[in-house]
Amino acid sequence: MTVSGERWLVTGVGEPMAGEAMDVPEPGAGQVVIAVAGCGVCHTDLGYYYDGVRTKMPFPLTLGHEISGRVVAAGAGAERWIGKAVIVPAVIPCGTCDACLRGKATICPNQTMPGNDIHGGFASFVRVSSVGLCEVDEARLARVGLDLADVSVVADAVTTPYQAVVQAGVEPGSLCVVVGVGGVGGYCVQIAAALGGAVVALDVDPKKLDAVHDFGALKTIDVRGVDPRALKADITAFAKERGLSTREWVIFECSGTAAGQTTAYGLLVHGATLAVVGFTMDKIELRLSNLMAFHARALGNWGCPPSLYPRALELVYEGKISLSPFVERYRLGEINDVFAGVHTRAVTRRAILIP
């Protein structure tokens, strides 16, 4: 096999990633090899790299789970994918276990995550199972000014909040509060609005709030220093002004911070749904009985089942989810500088690394 690409490996927590030449992998039965068009940098990657969050596969490891590209090789049973443009699910289920067969792919005990269980997408090529691949219509992408690299972020930053919005039952007229409107939260705003929700966006960064103002947020609130009771009263007043219910709010915690989680929990109203989308290792103190008293519910949200990817991608084709204003591209060889920039918030949009 001739050397025809590169990959970047994490060798230790916080240590500079090392680039090396790579061969095109050989696919096994049911597997495909994808020439990577783009791979998005997610805060989960930063957790592995900077914070020592454990990966299933030990270092050295190629990170990256937001992958789009073209299938260049396929093993037995996966030949139909040759030449197709695809998005790789961020979490790939086995497709055959009891959980998968009952429509619960997100809790598949055999699931595989690129950049965690196996080498990921910060490389020229990635080898993955063909289960759950989402085919991309490049002609339709072109009509909304996008190409294959751009939709790498659909693999996680878009589909994860898409599942959260669908699972929470958002419908026309639902009052939705999105806490934290960075990468995932910004798309959550757009998706909730696309499904008919009236969206209130909360953040501590005025620039992020400005960014979502024209992309689905009917009201934005800078929550720095705001009293929790005053915040709830402000949103209640907004609901009344708009003729919306002051009950049954849908609250999406997308910040992945202890402060954001505390804020989100404090917004529970009667019949509310709290969707926990962001992740943090930090702990918070709360009165769990509020769930009982408000007859509310809290939902976890691990990734997105591949069956929902085409529906999320359809919103991109239709222009109901805008990607371009929220992403920026870098060469794969810039990976160490890009990680540092995302970590220090110097890079404010979703970074996509291009081999």
| pLDDT tens by residue, 227-258 | 999 999 999 999 999 999 999 999 999 999 99
Q: Residue 2: its pLDDT value, please?
A: 54
Average pLDDT over residues 66-93: 98
* CATH number of this structure's domain 159-299, picked from the four choices 3.40.50.970, 1.10.10.60, 3.40.109.10, 3.40.50.720: 3.40.50.720
For helices 159-168 and 309-317, angle between their N-to-C axes, nearest 10 degrees: 110
In the chain, CATH 3.90.180.10 sits at: 3-156+304-354
Mean pLDDT (whole number) for 313-329:
96
Multiple choice CATH, 3-156+304-354, 3.90.180.10, 3.60.40.10, 3.40.630.30, 3.90.76.10 = 3.90.180.10
Cα separation, 79 vs 70, whole angstroms:
13
Locate CATH 3.40.50.720 in the chain.
159-299
Is 70 exceeded by the pLDDT of residue 173?
yes
pLDDT at 334: 98
Instruction: Specify the pTM.
Output: 0.95
Tokens at residue 141, please?
A: 């992408």
Residue 76 CB partners (closer than 8 Å, separation 6+) = 29, 30
pLDDT bucket at 128, cuts 50 / 70 / 90: very high
C-alpha dihedral sign at 44, 145, 320, 313? negative
**Helix or strand (DSSP H, E) at 299:** strand 297-299
In the chain, the percentage of residues whose pLDDT exceeds 70 is: 99
Tell me the mean pLDDT in the region 319-331: 96
Chain segment 253-297, per-residue pLDDT in tens? 999 999 999 999 999 999 999 999 999 889 999 999 999 999 999
Is 267:246 a contact under the CB 8 Å cutoff? no
Res 92: pLDDT: 97
pLDDT for 54-69, tens place per residue? 999 999 999 999 999 9
Cβ count within 10 A of residue 18 = 12
Model confidence at 1, pLDDT cuts 50, 70, 90, reads very low
Helix, strand, or coil here: 41?
coil
pLDDT confidence of residue 117: 97
Residue 293 backbone class (left: φ over 0; alpha: ψ -120 to 50; beta: rest): alpha
pLDDT of residue 4: 82
Indicate the pLDDT class of residue 3, thresholds 50, 70 and 90: low
* Cβ count near 69 (within 10 Å): 27
348 has pLDDT over 90: no
Contact 252, 164 (CB under 8 A): yes
Long-range pairs for 293-298: beta carbons < 8 A, 24 or more residues apart: 294/268, 294/269, 294/270, 295/270, 295/271, 296/268, 296/269, 296/270, 296/271, 296/272, 297/272, 297/273, 298/273, 298/274
